[in-house]
Amino acid sequence: MAITINELENGMGLLVDGQLFFVTELNHVKPGKGSAFVRVRLKNLRTDAVLERTYRTAETLEEADLERRRMQFTYVTGEEYHFMDQSSFEDTVIGKQLLGDGVKYLQDNMVVETILYKNQVVKVDVPNFIIATIVEADPGLKGDSSRAGYKPAKIDTGASVSVPLFIGQGETIKVDTRTGVYVERVKK
């Protein structure tokens, strides 16, 4: 559906050069001389690449009707990950490549945000932080908390995370899924 520049909003989906984008930022500019225009920052849904475009108010754009849904991770079979739609309770299969790095942080019954276009999942957003248990780590030594240093540790999802030297096996930690970095120790 074609829309005018004046109808553009943050978070709206657009088709630009045959690819799906959503608007992350827009600025209406009214210069002292000449006609008004809009600077738009777009993010590609598939590659996360950022694109900046300038549009005159007379131009039209193609709107992509994006739908956001919450889905719960249920189980995995090979390269296919099964999710249950939280509103319709339907099973949705999502390929490993669409999950990207988020697949390393999937936990049983985790709820993720998905973006659908024409009833097809085009993007999956894992929560920014997870609480995980260390299943494998070198033992910490007395006094390790006094000096800075990190060691590799494996969490219950199978991902490897760098943790401070004083963190040991069986401890619960908070991990930032966007960067894969240890945030803090969590008390049970």
2-64 and 66-125 share one fold = no
* Alpha-carbon span 157 to 34, nearest angstrom: 56
pLDDT for position 145 = 58
> Residues 33-59: pLDDT tens digits?
888 888 999 998 888 889 899 988 888
Class of domain 129-185: mainly beta
CA angle in degrees (0–180, nearest 5) for 23-70-184: 90
**How is residue 124 written in tokens?**
């999956």
Q: Which CATH architecture has domain 66-125?
A: Beta Barrel (2.40)
Domain boundaries, the chain: 2-64, 66-125, 129-185
pTM of the model: 0.76
> In angstroms, rounded to a whole number, what is the distance separating the alpha carbons of residues 129 and 105?
9
User: Minimal CA–CA distance to 125: which of 50, 19, 48?
Assistant: 48
Q: For the chain, what's the residue count?
A: 188
Q: pLDDT band at 144, cuts 50/70/90?
A: low
- Fold that domain 2-64 belongs to in CATH: SH3 type barrels. (2.30.30)
